[in-house]
Amino acid sequence: MELPLGLIEQSLNSRYSLWVREALNDLSDNFTITDPCIAGHPIVFVSPGFLKMTGYTKEEVIGKNGKMFQGPETSRSSVMLIREAVREEKEIQINLLNYRKDGTPFWVFFQMTPVFSKEDGQIIHFVGVQVPILKNSRKSRCGFVRIQGDSHENEFRACKSFLGSCRRELMSDSISELDCTLNRDSQPDSNSRGVEIEEPCEACDDEKQRAAIAISNILFVLTHHSEVTGGLVCERRCSLPRVGILCSSLNTSLNRIKQSFVLTDPNLPDMPIVYASDEFLKLTGYTRCEVLGRNCRFLSGIDTDSSTLFKIKESLQSEQACTVRILNYRKNKSSFWNDLHVSPVHNASGKLAYFVGVQMDADDKKQDEHGLNPKTKQLSTVGAVKVAVRSLSMTVGCSQG
Amino acid sequence: MLRIKRVPTVVSNYQEDETENVSRSTGCGRNCLNKCCIEGAKIPLYAFKKLNKISGSKGLCCEYENSVPPVAFLDSLLLGEWEDRMQRGLFRYDVTACETKVIPGKYGFIAQLNEGRHLKKRPTEFRVDKVLQPFDGNKFNFTKVGQEEVLFRFEANENGNTQFIPNDAIDLENSPSVVAINVSPIEYGHVLLIPRILDCLPQRIDRESFLLALHMATEAGNTYFRLGYNSLGAFATINHLHFQAYYLGVPFPIEKAPTKKIMTLKDGVIISELLKYPVRGLVFEGGNTLQSLSNSVSDACICLQENNIPYNILIADCGQRIFLLPQCYAEKQALGEVSAELLDTQVNPAVWEISGHMVLKRKKDYEEASEENAWRLLAVVSLSEERFQEVCALIFEVIDTVDAENTEGSSSMPEEHDDGCLKEVEARNNTTRPLPMTGTKECLV
Ligand SMILES: [Zn+2]
């Protein structure tokens, strides 16, 4: 899928001054900057040194996912650890086998660091530095991998959210995260997990140091150029957590579900909407800012049957799923019959975390391209939401309440 | 004869009650999958396109990752049908109400407290010293499950693309491969894939069935939807060929463990050894075709079962990596070599536990769950280093032979590989179309 280049450019432009590219180009290190909030987690900046190392042109790299440099001999468990770091928004250092454009493999020491918004602690970018490991430094048969914090999931997949002010994220500085961050500069412990493949390769201290210096140089440039726009960035989450907002990993997962649905939080007063899908906004005509934080009752109107509303209320109280046909109203006051399904969603502790409401325009009930009936599709959204919420609340970072 | 006592898992609502509940005028009254009721039944068919290629980062799921799909189609179908069964109250408990957590530590073991899974069931004796046992039609098997427990059929579309037929009538000539719910789920979306259900195959791997399972992993295209297999003697409860699968959105510790390459087969399949993990095992990946990857794993499995070595399989990473783990826990248990402390937890180390997802029955164990405890349990499951090397040698002997043979033929014509050198294997396991197992084929000891 081709990504619109505008989106890629916007990724840097919306955060940093217009001179940031120039300043980054002046750095001699091999690195990329990626945006996990754009679908596919594309590369939005690539350094000249990186292009030279890999043999690609800028045009071939921008907009692609970093996995384009991996090949058949790249260790899948290493890839898994990188994914996990992305999903967990954590730093990672790892020895990795990459491939040049001509297909030749080479070992690098890969260090990747997340960049957060200082204001709200939301993930902005990842900076990934790659230091080639010289052949003569391949001394041991053991590489190392260090990942910070607890394990969690990641996918390089979708995340189509907006960096606008209405997208609110969880800034959880849990103790474990804090610890990890504080330990960031310490040396990797020697008994950390080894990666042995055919010609395994361990970075020497010199290479690790080069990576660390590169990261700090890049972060210096980014921080400096974000001061100008006022949208300060930092390498550590520094905002306080706010109540009633989803962590970005959950947001990212929910964004993959292409159906009209909202999540409401029953643990907050008046059960406000804490997530609304793009399709929901399309269906109702509201913007995200207009619906987040509000109770769903604004969808009802003068002709909405009160007994139907009562039925929904009852099922919410008893924490049961229910399906109703209800008359709803769009922003422009036009009405539509909504085949609504509401279901409780539990977090990893087994406790009620949200209600998911999946809307279906009763007049727009065509089967999907595969022939899946609308009812099954609606329930699949419920299932996907349940899996995402449960999985993403399993580690400390994303748990609610 | 070695036996252990354990509480069997109830995978179907038709497993426990033998009381006939007549609600239909035709058939046995249970609307089951057997000949009595299957005639004229309509079950949705998901017909997948046979894949020729899946390799490395060019694999199917990675294509998806780059193109950022909405939830993939098989995913939607499975999740939607599963949720439907949940709303219909077919499960014994709501698994999303079970507490679960990632155990703090380096490896990220996952613990779940599941107090409902083993309730209302008396311990039963299981014979654990025979990996291959004939199918017994008198015992519970999947032909006895109700049609409402079946989500859809999952079969290859011999000529064409992926296709979905919502109301497809069952063709009795061809035994359908079905995906059914596990009514005692250990995570959301827990299902059973039962290859050619009416053929009543016993729990044993054959090439064709394993390829089917691998296809399911690639079709789902979701890193967090994995398939697993337990052989008899390695905590399979039902001797009717089946794989399991469910969703869990965190990496399993086994998937993050480093590996060491042992060899590359001629058709590109890479076999590695699992490192720094409590259970010793092999990892299969790569391969010029999905079929060659599938064949090398199934040949290894066939070798293990022929040699009466219990094992578990995990199909991970959208079918790109397959973990093969021979184990000896049940044998140790039967011989009284497992500590009372471990036995008290009643944890059955099947494929999920071995992969790092521990389902615990007691609140105490859940609260005290630690990396050390998980490690200690899994260490007992593992073969000793010495035995593991012996077992590997057995496997490599077979795989080498098979591979050498394969390279002489065309690698895209799998059926041809089954004659000739595979006599021994084929005699026991006709890979093209196994007959229903009725005989008493003794396994090698
Ligand atoms: Zn029947």
Report whether B369 contacts B360 (CB < 8 A).
yes
Domain count, chain A: 2
Model pLDDT, residue B183? 94
Model pLDDT, residue A251? 82
Model pLDDT, residue B119? 65
Domain annotation covers residue B17: no
Model pLDDT, residue A173? 30
Which chain A residue's Cα is nearest to B109?
Answer: A151
- Taking the Cβ of residue A198 and every Cβ of chain B, the question of whether any pair is shorter than 8 Å is answered with yes
Domain annotation covers residue A294: yes
Measure B144 CA to ligand 1 centroid, in angstroms: 7
Report whether A202 contacts A94 (CB < 8 A).
no
Q: Are residues A366 and A253 in the same domain?
A: yes
Domain count, chain B: 1
Encode burial over B359-376: b for 16+ CB neighbours within 10 A, e otherwise. Answer: bbbeeebbeebeeebbbe
Q: Taking CB atoms and an 8 Å cutoff, what residues of chain A touch B79?
A: 379-380, 382-384, 387
Which chain B residue's Cα is nearest to A176?
Answer: B104
Domain annotation covers residue B441: no
Q: Are residues A225 and A253 in the same domain?
A: no
Residue in A40, A376, A388 closest to B84 by CB: A376
Element (H, E) at A364: none
How many contacts (CB atoms, under 8 Å) link A and B? Answer: 201
Q: Are residues A230 and A252 in the same domain?
A: no
Domain annotation covers residue B11: no
* Contact between chains at B188 and A193 (C-beta distance less than 8 A): no
Interface confidence (ipTM) of the complex: 0.84
Closest CA to A397 of A169, A150, A117: A150
Mean pLDDT computed over every residue of chain A: 78
Q: Are residues A215 and A288 in the same domain?
A: no
Which position has the higher pLDDT, B115 or A148? B115
Please state the rounded mean pLDDT for residues A70-84.
Answer: 88
Is the pLDDT at A274 greater than 60? The verdict is yes
d(CA B252, CA B372): 16
Report whether B237 contacts B8 (CB < 8 A).
yes
Model pLDDT, residue B71? 54
Closest CA to A62 of A74, A73, A48, A76: A48
Is the pLDDT at A177 greater than 50? The verdict is no
Residues in chain B: 445
Q: Taking CB atoms and an 8 Å cutoff, what residues of chain A touch B249?
A: 153, 253, 387-388, 390-392, 394
Model pLDDT, residue B2? 82
Domain annotation covers residue B61: yes
Residue in A72, A196, A379 closest to B80 by CB: A379
Q: Are residues A42 and A90 in the same domain?
A: yes
d(CA B54, CA A337): 44
Which position has the higher pLDDT, A166 or B98? B98
Q: Taking CB atoms and an 8 Å cutoff, what residues of chain B touch A253?
A: 249
A300-320 residue pLDDT tens? 999 999 999 999 999 999 999
Least confident of A48-62, A112-126, A315-329, B264-278: A112-126
Is the pLDDT at A340 greater than 50? The verdict is yes
Residues in chain A: 401
Domain annotation covers residue A190: no
Model pLDDT, residue B412? 37
Model pLDDT, residue B17? 54
Model pLDDT, residue B135? 95
- CATH code for position B90: 3.30.428.70
Measure B19 CA to ligand 1 centroid, in angstroms: 13
- Domain carrying residue A312: 245-400
Model pLDDT, residue A179? 33
Is the pLDDT at A74 greater than 50? The verdict is yes
Q: Is B242 a residue of the active site?
A: yes
Token reading at B105 = 């530590």
Domain annotation covers residue B173: yes
- Domain carrying residue B141: 43-429
Report whether A257 contacts A385 (CB < 8 A).
yes
Q: With 0-12 CB in 10 A as exposed, 13-18 as middle and 19+ as buried, what is B63?
A: middle
- CATH code for position A89: 3.30.450.20
* Contact between chains at B251 and A84 (C-beta distance less than 8 A): yes
Q: Taking CB atoms and an 8 Å cutoff, what residues of chain B touch A358?
A: none
d(CA B68, CA A202): 34
Q: Are residues A292 and A211 in the same domain?
A: no
Q: Are residues A215 and A87 in the same domain?
A: yes
Domain annotation covers residue B315: yes
* Contact between chains at B68 and A40 (C-beta distance less than 8 A): yes
Q: Of the listed B118, B190, B242, B357, which one is catalytic?
A: B242
Q: Which residue has the tokens 């204001």?
A: A119
Give pLDDT < 70 ranges for chain B. Answer: 16-26, 51-71, 119-121, 401-445
Model pLDDT, residue B434? 32
Report whether A231 contacts A117 (CB < 8 A).
yes
Report whether A361 contacts A338 (CB < 8 A).
yes
Is the pLDDT at A106 greater than 50? The verdict is yes
Element (H, E) at A269: none
Domain annotation covers residue A170: no
Q: Are residues A222 and A252 in the same domain?
A: no
* Contact between chains at A348 and B76 (C-beta distance less than 8 A): no
Residue in A157, A176, A196 closest to B275 by CB: A196
Alpha carbons within 13 angstroms on the beta-carbon side of residue A117 total 25
The alpha carbon of residue B281 is apart from the nearest alpha carbon of chain A, in Å, by 15
Q: Are residues A331 and A221 in the same domain?
A: no
Is the pLDDT at A171 greater than 60? The verdict is no
Please state the rounded mean pLDDT for residues A378-396.
Answer: 90
Q: Are residues A221 and A251 in the same domain?
A: no
d(CA A151, CA A106): 27
d(CA B45, CA B81): 13
Q: Are residues A210 and A83 in the same domain?
A: yes
- Taking the Cβ of residue A348 and every Cβ of chain B, the question of whether any pair is shorter than 8 Å is answered with yes
Element (H, E) at A7: helix A5-13
Torsion of CA B410, B416, B422, B423, to 10 degrees: -150
Domain annotation covers residue B365: yes
Domain annotation covers residue A239: no
Residue in B166, B250, B276 closest to A391 by CB: B250
Which position has the higher pLDDT, A92 or B127? A92
Domain annotation covers residue B12: no
Sequence-distant (6+) residues with CB within 8 A of B378 are: B277, B278, B279, B349, B353, B354
d(CA A97, CA A200): 9
d(CA A193, CA B294): 29
Token reading at B222 = 């979701």
Q: Are residues A109 and A224 in the same domain?
A: yes
The alpha carbon of residue A74 is apart from the nearest alpha carbon of chain B, in Å, by 8
